[in-house]
Amino acid sequence: MFKSLPTFERNNEHDVLVFGIFEGEEFPQGAEAVDRLLNDQVSKLKKTKKIAKQGEMTTVYPLGKLKSEAIYVVGLGKKEDVTTESLREAVARVGQQIKKEKSINIAFLVESFVCESVGETDVAVLIGEGLALGTYKVLDYKEKTNEVDKQLKDVTLYGQEIELLQRAANEGYTYGLGTNRARKLVNTPGNLMTPTDLAEEAKVLAEKHGFEYEVLERKEMEKLGMGALLAVAAGSDQPPKMIVIKYSGDKQSNELLGFVGKGLTFDSGGISIKPRENMHQMKMDMGGAAAVLGAMDIIGSLKPNVNVLAVIPSSENLLNGSALKPGDVITSLSGKTIEVRNTDAEGRLILADGITYAKQLGATSLIDVATLTGAVLIALGDCTTGAVTNNEELMEEILEASAETGEWIWRLPNYAPYKKMLKTSDVADLNNAPGRLAGSITAGLFIGEFAEDTPWVHLDIAGTAWQSKATTLGPLGGTGAMARTLAQLAVNKDIQQ
């Protein structure tokens, strides 16, 4: 889809030609040449201060002076204020517009987006990523018209490093598509995304990339002793699944990076039932599993020289005569017993068995991803993922990856008093819900009890996995949060070797 050429010519045909413009700056050579072909239309608009502000996009029509049907002039603001996040959003805004206009052939003057903080290759990555994110559309189930939905087919990058730009844009697009895969899974209604459906999605992904694939059924879980996952699943007629896919990119290495994603395909809260308001959104409680599958899609495409294991414990949390009850004591796969004080604290239960199983399969480091607590929304809002860890080195690697992808993470403390709160049961090793205080921290540290000495990071995406209104980077619904960060972590491990 992406190709690169050194120079834009008047007779080059595109539905849309895109170039950026900074406040108070001269045009780079390529953009200046286009402006001359347009009889200085853009520079005249700039002088009247009608364009160039960050977040603005102006359409200029060439009226036969170029073969392009339209020019999008993207305001980038002041050069010193530009970041990778602002450029990603600027390109995503272009993506939204071309989706609306049904454009299929577009071009970018890459040099016009370059500044001190973001070089030409990075701009190409952001173009690929921003276009994928900005053109994403939530699948709906409304009665359809006969109108054909046109898709973007060709993107030309005008710049000097032709092969490098093309490769970088394709890489960015791959990250965006992996995020969109995660979004699609999160946005699918619960009746169409059961644990069985989620297992099938993992199988399709494994077949696409040649991953190893396994799924454990209820009888196998019973034989192994996965009491925590089975207890949560007891309230639903849908059979639980323990889903495993594995990418072997470095068969000479014993290192195995483990991703464990919470695959709760619908969460009513169980006996500790949630309020009815917005319960329909709880189809998103498998956002951790979606992020892991999105990351594995990216990894399968980029093929870094690392080994990655993905484990997804999946069930529903509903309520029937067999459902888990407050006060029940269950035995996890690890052998640790758990007193259930709150059946709506179920994600940490299924992740307990997921973490233990990942360790049994040989994971040497672990990252679990989960829409785990409402408390993280109170602490960090809906723009930052909360993290808890037992290993500073692994935490720093994840923070570095998140900085590269623009997915913000904030580390929460893991001090001893928080860990003691988990031991407040009189009848079991652990209490799954010790109270409101430090709810996100204790929930994460509960999972850490099963990671034990294995390097581990917990990522709570309850605030970041779902957006309640459309933004530049995507529509209302699933965000695909952490898919890109997990993939970047794997890529960075390859680079660091």
Query: Catalytic residue positions?
Result: 274, 348
Distance CA 107, CA 154 (A): 8
For 65, the 3-state DSSP assignment is coil
Q: Is 187 buried (19+), middle (13-18) or exposed (0-12) by CB count in 10 A?
A: buried
Answer yes or no: is 346 a known binding residue.
Answer: yes
**Which residue carries 């900074």 as its tokens?**
22
Closest alpha carbon to 232 in 342, 323, 352, 353: 323
Measured between alpha carbons, how far is 443 from 459 in angstroms, rounded to an integer? 11
Report the amino acid identity of residue 256.
Answer: L
Lookup: tokens for 15? 């539905």
* Burial of residue 414, with CB atoms counted within 10 A of its CB: 0-12 exposed, 13-18 middle, 19 or more buried: middle
Q: How many angstroms separate the CA atoms of 297 and 201, rounded?
A: 11
Q: How far is Cα 82 from Cα 80, in angstroms, rounded to an integer? A: 6
* CA distance between the termini of the chain: 31
Q: Is 262 annotated as a binding residue?
A: yes
Rounded Cα gap, residues 64 and 243, in angstroms:
57
80 known ligand binder: no
H-assigned helices in 225-369: 227-233, 287-302, 347-360
Q: Is 159 helix (H, G, I), strand (E, B) or coil?
A: coil
Q: Which residues contact 283 (CB under 8 A, 6 or more apart)?
A: 186, 187, 188, 189, 190, 193, 265, 266
Does the annotation place 344 within a ligand binding site?
A: yes
Please, which residues have CB within 8 angstroms of residue 274's CB and are 6 or more apart in sequence?
267, 268, 282, 344
3-state DSSP assignment of residue 243: strand
Q: Phi, psi at residue 243, to the nearest 5°?
A: -100, 135
How many residues are present in the chain? 497
Q: Is 154 annotated as a binding residue?
A: no
Q: What's the CA gap between 313 and 47, in Å, rounded?
A: 58
Residues of each annotated binding site for Mn(2+)? 262, 267, 285, 344, 346
